[in-house]
Structure 1
């Protein structure tokens, strides 16, 4: 492939193939360049390092999940119904990734493992690292949940615990407190359902009865948010 026709998308597609074949520990930028028929310097013109390339692959992988969920979060209709649907789509999307593309899922888990300390510390180290990509992904999902909850409060079908406004609880302070309460509730819902979307729990996603357990948990969560 002539270097002038090389695009980031071409590179990422080739990188996924190489990662599936060799795994992140053994795959190199030279391997990616060889698949594309270009020099490794051509790849580096788009991605300055192997770490940046890995981060872009992780972002591409996670963006597909975000797109599916964004359609649910931004839809019209009762927010409590959308909340159930959003959680179901999240679980189904993550589970299909683990089942339908096990090599890439294993690669993604390995990349997370390499960035584990930074992720556990809540690093916001930017899109050039896997830790930064994962942090952005989690923030995006929590933001979508907050949007649904905010709509639910407005519609009167959901309620969230109040947050205390600092100082004089007037005007902007009240609005800020309301926003904090919604964001806090969104984080609580995300954490409460972690077993059904955190890749660390993937081995249990195909166990008998897991759908019933998921449905029960979602029912408890939604009922707990009713006014």
Structure 2
């Protein structure tokens, strides 16, 4: 696992796991990551804000081995944290270390998705209707444009996650923002560092 220092508004200190943050998102997808000793306090606060659990990692505990299978998280200046997707089997193994009957904290109100609104005229908007245009999911790299939804990664051990193209420079650099972590700073990738979703894929 890479322990590379990262700047641009988020901290990622090269260290050993001291805390695991885990939880499920609104779609039931599993998230978990580890944080070092220097970030443990702020990561635990971020977990509470995001409706996630925080588990201390002891050197001799089973959690140490599980933490080694997780990506390293980040704490942003906003107080929230970057906790990537993980395999459900790993998440379930970590969740067994939560106290019996554990209740996840209530997520902060400003961290919840905005409620659906009704049209000003013509009756209520359909509950299942999209609130904004669906981003394109190009089937070919040549069809990637601003607004396209693609996949990107931060390293060979970090997994691939959805990102939206916000800019394409003349020299072939693509500026991206993570779809699910709006607090994370924008980043750039070459075309050879971008993957495509299946055009029929929907969350």
| TM-score class, shorter | under 0.3
**Higher helix proportion (structure 1 or 2):** 1
Which fold has the larger relative contact order, with Cα–Cα distance below 8 Å and residues 6 or more apart in sequence? 1
**Higher strand proportion (structure 1 or 2):** 2
TM-score normalised according to structure 2 size: 0.23
Larger radius of gyration between Structure 1 and Structure 2: 1
TM-score normalised according to structure 1 size: 0.21
